[in-house]
């Protein structure tokens, strides 16, 4: 969410940014916000003047009551008339103040409704384009290999190890769920444990957050469109299941004023994640690729504004380092303007190589949201000069199995059907270096 003063003083910049994000339907909102803001400020000014007048009138009546007691019968009528006129004016002020306070609430609600939909100002380095087809490959890490033997569909690989049961999950929970079993389940947990320790060794504090959050936190951390498309609401409660632990991790600081010596806040969190995942998807996005429930290791940073781009660079590189340590080729893909969620100023995906599809697919997403979440959640920092300012917030996926398992199994599958385990995972797999299929 933008600063209302910025919109008021820079409407053309805000409108141009909306055009860059191919959201022209939102252009009228800029003028609407400016008009509503003008009316709101006028109401606030009038209310302030009326309160001053009320105080003046109330003070004026004090001496008049004193005069009334001492006045002659001839003087009392005039004094009483003045007192009555003052009281009538106070009553009129009270009535108008009530109207103005109601208007202020209405204006503020209408302004906020639009402000939540006006996108954040994207960074100048973001490539322009209407959708993800215009995302730009920046760099590749590791050599993508296509073996001379067939790479089966990922659930077929898992099935060879008796490692997945989609049918049972369908009976208990419906489509979009799964049972992971045996070696595959252990590999899933091993990757999460390794990712946890990987981030701890980078200096991040490990955290297990709440898996449900209030609606005001949801509104604070994500755009309305993302909320509607992703979040599951608990019936009868002001609680939502998190779609990623970033939501509750950033929400941890709601309403807080941090000191500069508390920055940066660098946290890495484990959580299950729950997503609606609406819409139809292609064959390669079935199985355990696009599901309603999964587990993830996440990283978030709350920092000074001048440090946020440096952290953005570090964070996506952590993802590359993690995947390369597991011998999985990846690439960095810069997200174009039309592919950025409204709160983001810059974002990139880390995509893993799929030997089966002979292309890359998303496994991590790194985002800089500048001060948008901090403004929505009222997170502030008190500087050395005593003044407060909004920090910047960033987030990035460390690893999100079971999607990561697809890349892992495809890149480590051998011609005989076995799966090699890279050295970094040996301690988390009880020393197992090779998974041998059961069938």
Mean pLDDT of 209-229: 88
Mean pLDDT of 233-246: 94
Note the pLDDT tens digit of each residue in 23-49: 999 999 999 999 999 999 999 998 888
264 prior amide bond cis, ω within 30: yes
Query: Which pLDDT score, from 0 to 100, does residue 281 have?
Result: 44
Query: Which pLDDT score, from 0 to 100, does residue 172 have?
Result: 95
Report helix, strand or coil for 359: strand
Note the pLDDT tens digit of each residue in 298-354: 999 999 999 999 999 999 999 999 999 999 999 999 999 999 999 999 999 999 999
Query: Which pLDDT score, from 0 to 100, does residue 143 have?
Result: 96
CB burial readout 293-313, b (16+ within 10 A) else e: ebbbbbbbbbbeeebbbebbe
What's CA 13's distance to the chain center, in Å?
24
Are the beta carbons of 301 and 311 closer than 8 angstroms?
yes
Tokens 């690989």, located at residue: 157
- Please say if the pLDDT value at position 231 is more than 80: yes
Q: Which of 47-51, 68-72, 402-406 has the highest mean pLDDT?
A: 402-406
Mean pLDDT of 356-361: 95
For 105, the token pair is 């609430």
Mean pLDDT of 102-115: 94
The structural domains of the chain, ordered by start, are 4-115 (1.10.287), 132-435 (3.30.930.10)
Rounded-to-integer distance, Cα 287 and Cα 160, Å: 15
Are the beta carbons of 324 and 354 closer than 8 angstroms?
no
Query: Which pLDDT score, from 0 to 100, does residue 74 have?
Result: 59
- Please say if the pLDDT value at position 238 is more than 80: yes
Rounded-to-integer distance, Cα 188 and Cα 208, Å: 18
From 120, 112, 117, select the one nearest 2 (Cα to Cα).
120
- Please say if the pLDDT value at position 155 is more than 60: yes
Element (H, E) at 205: strand 205-207
From 338, 347, 331, 396, select the one nearest 138 (Cα to Cα).
331
Mean pLDDT of 343-366: 96
For CA atoms 127, 131, 132, 133, the dihedral sign is: negative
Q: What is the DSSP letter of 140?
A: E
For CA atoms 315, 316, 317, 320, the dihedral sign is: positive
Are the beta carbons of 170 and 164 closer than 8 angstroms?
no
Query: Which pLDDT score, from 0 to 100, does residue 387 have?
Result: 95
Mean pLDDT of 17-25: 97
């Amino acid at each position: 969410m933008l600063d209302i003063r910025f919109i008021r003083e820079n409407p053309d910049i805000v409108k141009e940014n909306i055009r860059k994000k191919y959201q022209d339907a939102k252009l009228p909102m800029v003028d609407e916000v400016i008009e509503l803001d003008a009316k709101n400020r006028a109401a606030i000014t009038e209310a302030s003047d009326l309160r001053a007048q009320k105080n003046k009138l109330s003070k004026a009546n004090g001496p008049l009551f004193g005069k009334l007691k001492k006045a002659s019968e001839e003087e009392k009528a005039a004094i009483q008339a003045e007192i009555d006129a003052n009281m009538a004016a106070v009553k009129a002020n009270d009535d108008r103040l009530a109207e103005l306070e109601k208007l202020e609430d209405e204006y503020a609600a209408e302004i906020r409704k639009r402000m939540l939909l006006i996108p954040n100002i994207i960074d100048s380095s973001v490539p322009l384009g209407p959708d993800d087809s215009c995302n730009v490959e920046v760099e590749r890490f590791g050599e993508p290999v296509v073996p001379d033997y067939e790479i089966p569909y990922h659930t077929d690989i898992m099935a060879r190890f008796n490692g997945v049961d989609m049918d049972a999950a369908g009976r208990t929970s419906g489509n979009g769920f799964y049972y992971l079993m045996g070696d595959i389940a252990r590999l899933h947990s091993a990757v999460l444990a390794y990712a946890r320790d990987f981030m701890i060794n980078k200096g991040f504090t490990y955290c297990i957050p709440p898996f449900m959050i209030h609606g005001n936190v949801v509104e604070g951390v994500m755009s309305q469109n993302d909320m509607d498309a992703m979040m599951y609401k608990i019936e009868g409660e002001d609680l939502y299941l998190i779609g990623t632990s970033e939501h509750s991790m950033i929400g941890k600081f709601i309403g807080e004023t941090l000191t500069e010596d508390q920055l940066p806040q660098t946290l890495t969190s484990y959580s299950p994640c729950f997503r609606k995942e609406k819409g139809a998807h292609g064959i390669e996005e079935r199985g355990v690729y696009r599901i309603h429930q999964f587990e993830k290791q996440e990283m978030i940073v709350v920092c000074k504004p001048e440090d946020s781009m440096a952290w953005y660079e570090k964070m996506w590189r952590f993802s590359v380092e993690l995947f390369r340590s597991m011998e999985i080729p990846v690439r960095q893909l810069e997200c174009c303007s039309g592919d950025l969620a409204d709160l983001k100023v810059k974002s990139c995906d880390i995509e893993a190589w799929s030997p089966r599809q002979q292309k890359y697919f998303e496994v991590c997403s790194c985002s800089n949201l500048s001060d948008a979440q901090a403004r929505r959640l009222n997170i502030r920092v008190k500087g050395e000069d005593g003044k407060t300012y909004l920090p910047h917030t960033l987030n990035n996926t460390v690893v999100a199995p079971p999607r990561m398992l697809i890349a892992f199994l495809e890149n480590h599958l051998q011609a005989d059907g076995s799966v090699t385990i890279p050295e970094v995972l040996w301690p988390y797999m009880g020393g197992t270096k090779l998974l041998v299929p059961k069938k």
